[in-house]
Amino acid sequence: MYAISLGEGAELRPLEVWHAEELLADIDRGRESIGRHIALADVIRDLDGARAYLRSYADKRAADAGSLHGVWLDGRLVGGLLFRTWDTAQGVCEAGCWLEPAAAGRGLATRGMRILLDWAFDERGMHRVEWHASSANEASINVARRLGMTRDGVLRENHPHRGVRTDTEVWSVLAPEWRAARARTAQPDH
């Protein structure tokens, strides 16, 4: 399978069912931080939960409906990047990520998502990639900004998380915007 360098000892690789123990350890290390904004920490409570989560993404990949990729830092799984939804016919998907605290702030999610967005637009023909994040999740919103996404709007109190209704910001980037931004960054400075 692939292993793509993200620099600084980090790699992007497939995250598969046989990684269940590594996934559980990753979630355990970041449970409080990860669970603050997303349900993943509540879904993966034990090895069976980790296996079930990974199987659900193996099924999504087989159905061409989503995918899951791990971020390894110095040989240890420290987070994941995903296409939570994937609709080839509509040309729309939703991307997302999580990182345990020890891996945060290094640009790993942004660098890894750039690779995945290149693939989504160039190889798979997606037209729109969305990013949904709690309005309180500044780290996730900052990834969307660094990816050059536009804030489409806020779904007010649309998502119950741990008994509290939260707002969800919807961000997106369109294929022509992505390609234009990539072309600008490839131009030498004058």
Assign residue 55 the CATH number of its domain: 3.40.630.30
Reported pTM: 0.93
Rounded alpha-carbon distances, angstroms, from residue 144 to 4, 127, 169, 171, 188: 21, 17, 10, 7, 25
The length of the chain in residues reads 190
Number of compact structural domains in the chain? 1
- Give the pLDDT of residue 57: 98
pLDDT at 187 (0 to 100): 73
Q: Let me know: does 27 contact 44? Beta carbons within 8 Å.
A: yes
Nearest to 71 by CA among 137, 155, 14, 17: 14
Residue 189's pLDDT is 58
Distance between CA 104 and CA 167 in Å, rounded? 23
Class of residue 33 by CB neighbours under 10 A (exposed 0-12, middle 13-18, buried 19+): middle
pLDDT tens for the 190 residues of the chain, in order? 689 999 999 999 999 999 999 999 999 999 999 999 999 999 999 999 999 999 999 999 999 999 999 999 999 999 999 999 999 999 999 999 999 999 999 999 999 999 999 999 999 999 999 999 999 999 999 999 999 999 999 999 998 989 899 999 999 999 999 999 999 888 765 5
At residue 181, φ and ψ (nearest 5 deg) are -65, -40
Tokens read off for 190: 């004058």
Q: What is the pLDDT of residue 190?
A: 53
Question: Where in the sequence is the domain holding 175, given as residue range(s)?
Answer: 4-186
Crossing angle for the helix pair 20-35 and 47-62, nearest 10 degrees? 100
